[in-house]
């Protein structure tokens, strides 16, 4: 959807977007910034000019189940921990053998 400037239609679209997130009990996710917003936080950030929606914002923000985000974060956390343990093992082996 191509947006050009702020219009009443965009305000309605934004309200509907936030209402849909609330109704579904989901949150709003920005994959580019890897940032999660409750529907209320999203609306407040816009009103308080802490978040600026540019053309094409609807493609950049997704209404998603935050539990999926927690599951993904757990997987990433486990992968990072495994890398840390492997590095720790290498460091210990190096200093024990040298």
Mean pLDDT, the chain, as a whole number? 92
Find the largest Cα–Cα distance for the chain: 70
> Encoding tokens for residue 42?
């999203």
For 43-54, how does the pLDDT look when each residue is reduced to its tens digit (9 = 90+)? 999 999 999 998
Domain ranges of the chain: 1-64, 65-98
Q: Collapsing DSSP states into helix, strand and coil, what is residue 5? A: coil
Nearest Cα neighbor of 62 from 43, 85, 34 is 34
* pTM, 2 dp: 0.77
39-47 and 8-24 helices, crossing angle to 10°: 160
* The 27-30 sheet, strands edge to edge: 35-37, 27-30, 62-64
Alpha helices (H) in 1-98, listed in sequence order:
8-24, 39-47, 57-60, 66-97
Per-residue pLDDT of 53-77, as tens digits, reads 988 899 999 999 999 999 999 999 9
């Amino acid at each position: 959807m191509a947006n050009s400037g702020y219009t009443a239609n965009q305000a309605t679209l934004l309200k509907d977007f936030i209402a849909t997130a609330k109704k579904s009990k989901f949150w709003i996710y920005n994959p580019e910034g890897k940032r999660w917003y409750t529907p209320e936080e999203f609306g407040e950030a816009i009103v308080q000019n802490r978040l600026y929606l540019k053309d094409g914002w609807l493609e950049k923000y997704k209404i998603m189940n935050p539990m999926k985000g927690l599951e993904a974060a757990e997987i990433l956390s486990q992968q990072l921990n495994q890398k840390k343990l492997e590095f720790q093992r290498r460091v210990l082996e190096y200093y024990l053998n040298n």
